[in-house]
Amino acid sequence: MEHLTAFFQEFALASTLALGLQVVLTVGVILRVVLTRHPPGSSFAWILLTLALPYIGFLLYVMIGEKPIGRWRAFKMKKAARHWNQVLSERPCNAHLLQRHAEHAGLLRLAQHLGHIPSSDGSKLELISQTDRVFMLMINDIAQARHNIDMEFYIWNVGGLVDTLSETLIQAAERGVRCRILVDAIGSREFLSSDWPHRFKEAGIHLSVALPVRFLSFGKGRADLRLHRKTVVIDDRIGYTGSLNMIDPAYFKKEANLGQWVDAMARVEGSAVSDLKLVIEYDWALQPDDEGRMPEMLDISPTPAVGSACVTVVPSGPSSMADANLRLIIEAVNNAKRRVLITTPYFVPGEALVMALQNAAIRGVDVRLCVPEANDSVFVRWASRRYFEGLMACGVHIMLFQDGLLHTKAITIDDELAIFGTVNMDNRSMHLNFEMMLLVFDNDFVSSLVALQEHYESRSLCVNPTTWHGRSFGSRLREGLCYLLSPLL
């Protein structure tokens, strides 16, 4: 009997301590959320999560609740920014571009301010929508490289065309071409556990891992900051960027039964290539094993003009101006007069962008949104659908792509300008990831992109507002629950 009494006393004490700890953690997180500048929706989501699951909410908030980049990384960024500014201070004035595109001069100024890179003319862009052709061109350019090859990707997978390209890289390194590859620690984890990193090292290819996750090293910044760029620069004269990771769609995530991933890339020549290279050098300067490479930014020479496209390279990340991508996209939508075409795989936009799209549709702009019917993120799939009814009520047309996972990220405005690159319309791309956008004024490129977006629409089902309004209670409930957590996605 005494043993039983002692057990209950110990249990009561442990329960009291656990309850006290739970209250302390919950109150601590709520106070921190209230005192820290979060968007209202994000603040509400964190408070709701912490009240429902105090311990999990506390751990998640410590790891990913705020936007710190860490003291060490902040120091590296500040040092790299000095070299960045020195390079750009020597760039010629581009006032003539503001005059040439006077109708969009405000947007150009905003893009330059947000990305800290001046607009340039003298570029040639080719839009490539077939993955096989992207790899064919890239492999051919690598095979002809003479001096240097720089590549950075969120996902570097293995198998199929990727292995063929990797073999071509090894051959380039063996003939004396300097090759550097920067991959994200999370997105490329399968590749990093394969034998390819060892083969690259043996061939003399410099491979580095960006943003490694150290869950116990809280001083190094939040754990889910990711390098989401997909950029290639070859011999400082040819560049690639867009939505395609280093994957072969015939092999990538086949077990998910989503169909093949559908992407698009831009092959770039001319002035904008040096801007792509500048961003790559900046990313390398943040690597812990590349302290001595910061001065290489100063060695970037302007790429000779090829073509006449006006391009503004807009890199973004957690260290850049708050909401840089969101600001630029909203400004572009607000400036639209006739048509806005949006293609994105992940649509969890937030209220500010939703209102901009609604306002555009109300004032008579033809606003069309094309997203994939299938999605590799269940939460994003349901959360995105929570926005559909309000958008359609204002006249926005929504199309669900049926032929695979549409992964292209593109916006065209009035058939005159394009926003193209790696940016999704979700919280991560808008606020957290290291991303890359191109703001392009070029008739040929914009026309090609509009044609591609219309092709996507032809392979999509248009959502009927009446039918959508009558969807089941279960669907509405799933959408609502995921919507509450959407600021955390």
pLDDT at 131: 97
pLDDT category at 302 given cuts 50, 70, 90 is confident
Per-residue confidence (pLDDT) for residue 318, from 0 to 100? 80
d(CA 440, CA 309) in angstroms, rounded, equals 7
Domain assignment present for 317: no
Does residue 50 sit in the same domain as residue 199?
no
Spatial distance between the Cα atoms of 326 and 74, rounded to a whole number of angstroms: 23
Which member of 76, 116, 124, 230 is catalytic?
230
Q: Are residues 285 and 375 in the same domain?
A: no
Side-chain-side CA neighbours of residue 308 (13 Å) = 4
Q: Which of these is catalytic: 414, 426, 431, 442?
A: 414
On whether both 150 and 294 belong to a single domain, the answer is yes
DSSP assignment of 114-177: HHS---EEEEEEEEE--HHHHHHHHHHHHHT-SSEEEEEES-B--STHHHHHHHHHHHHHHTT-
pLDDT over 70 percentage in the chain: 84
Q: What mean pLDDT, rounded, does the chain reach?
A: 88
Check residues 248 and 303 and name the one with the higher pLDDT: 248
Q: pLDDT at residue 223 above 70?
A: no
List the catalytic residue out of 163, 224, 235, 366.
Answer: 235
Q: For residue 368, list its beta bridge partners.
A: 341, 397
Residue 340, beta-bridge partner list: 367, 413
Q: What is the pLDDT of residue 8?
A: 57
Residue 228 bears catalytic tag: yes
Band (97; pLDDT cuts 50, 70, 90):
confident
Rounded to an integer, the average pLDDT of 372-395 is 94
pLDDT tens digit sequence for 151-160: 999 999 999 9
Q: Is 407 a catalytic residue?
A: yes
Please tell me which residue, 471 or 133, carries the higher pLDDT value: 133
CATH code for position 201:
3.30.870.10
Model confidence band, residue 371 (pLDDT cutoffs 50, 70, 90): very high
User: Can you give the pLDDT at residue 26?
Assistant: 78
Rounded Cα–Cα distance for residues 356 and 351 (Å): 9
User: How long is the chain?
Assistant: 489
Split into its structural domains, the chain has a count of: 3
Let me know if residue 281 belongs to a domain: yes
Residue 405 lies in domain: 324-488
Residue 319 lies in a domain: no
Q: Are residues 53 and 121 in the same domain?
A: no
Q: Among residues 349, 312, 379, 342, which one has the least CA distance to residue 460?
A: 342
What global pTM score does this model have? 0.88
475 and 349 in a common domain: yes
Mean pLDDT of 287-306: 71
Active-site residue, 337 included = no
3-state class of 421 per DSSP?
strand
Asked if residue 291 has pLDDT above 60, the reply is no
Asked about 79 being catalytic, the answer comes back as no
Domain identity same for 23 and 145: no
Based on the domain organization, do 149 and 289 belong to the same domain? yes
Are the C-beta atoms of residues 320 and 132 closer than 8 Å to each other? no
Residues 137 and 165 in one domain: yes
Radius of gyration (C-alpha) of the chain in whole angstroms: 24
Is the pLDDT at 331 greater than 70? The verdict is yes
Question: Is 119 within 8 Å of 310 (Cβ atoms)?
Answer: yes
